[in-house]
Amino acid sequence: MDWLSVLGWVVPLLFGVVFYGTYRYAKRNEPDVPPEDPAPGVRGWLLLLVGLMFIGPFINAGRLFFELASVESEYPNFSTLESWATFKSATWLTFLVVACLSFYAGYGLAKGRDISVVRRAKVLLWVIGPVASLVLDLVIPLVVFGEFEFIGDLARSAVGAGLWTAYLSKSRRVLATYGGDRSAAVSNPSLQRTASGDR
């Protein structure tokens, strides 16, 4: 059995374990809220976001490893170049920082129950998304090689960060789970309509 076939069943298993573990861990820390508050707790889209913050770095590590390995297999002399070693080191170090920030944001959303963890997660979504793409795709290649190839990861990560930031800003579940200004949610009908599907 080769390693690609092993990955075929390990990756889905890892997804399941991370989401189930996140759900069980977050369920232990659910807030005590009055019955009129809508569906508090880390469930639904919020659970998906927290799970992605935990499993995303593993997926990206695999993708980065395979991309670097494919370049080295296509151009074997790269492994002897000092600039390639510098590029790989800078890329993995940046990736490690981004992965730790992603875990930190996910842990805060799973464990915390005040609005500050939501604010922190919103900022970190932009740091681990577009800012990390800028550093990995533009800054590091420009500094090490003097050139870069833009492949669109920045736009994709900006759209993802924007959508998740909007969700964290408008969701009734997020408001019920982490608190915040409940009177604003009651007086703002658009907030209630926007998040009414998130139960």
Predicted pLDDT at 153: 82
Cβ-contact 168, 118 below 8 angstroms: yes
**What does the pLDDT read at residue 40?**
78
With a CB cutoff of 8 Å and minimum separation 6, the contacts of 96 are none
Could you tell me if residue 2 is inside a domain? Answer: no
Placement of tokens 């979504």 in the chain: 125
Q: What is the mean pLDDT of residues 9-26?
A: 68
Whether the per-residue pLDDT at 180 is higher than 80: the answer is no
Q: What is the Rg, in whole angstroms, of the alpha carbon atoms belonging to the chain?
A: 20
Domain contains 79:
yes
Is residue 168 in some structural domain? Answer: yes
Per-position b or e across 124-163, b if 16+ CB within 10 A of its CB = bbbbbbbbbbebbbeebbeebeeeeeeeebbeebbeebee
Task: Give the domain range for residue 73.
Answer: 10-29+41-180
For residue 4, is pLDDT > 80?
Answer: no
Asked whether residue 186 is assigned to any structural domain, the reply reads: no
The pLDDT of 4-12, averaged and rounded, is 60
57-107 confidence digits (pLDDT tens): 999 999 999 999 999 999 999 888 999 999 999 999 999 999 999 999 999
**Residue 23 contacts residue 42 (beta carbons within 8 Å):** yes
> pLDDT-derived band of residue 22, with 50, 70 and 90 as boundaries?
low
Domain count, the chain: 1
pLDDT of amino acid 196? 46
Q: Is 15 helix (H, G, I), strand (E, B) or coil?
A: helix
User: What is the pTM assigned to this prediction?
Assistant: 0.73
- Stronger pLDDT, 169 or 30, i.e. the higher one: 169
Distance CA 75, CA 52 (A): 33
Question: Is 193 part of any domain?
Answer: no
Helices assigned H by DSSP within the chain? 3-28, 44-74, 82-111, 115-126, 132-134, 140-145, 153-170, 172-178, 182-187, 189-194
What's the Cα-to-Cα distance from 8 to each of 4, 5, 19, 31, 138, rounded to whole Å? Answer: 6, 5, 18, 38, 32
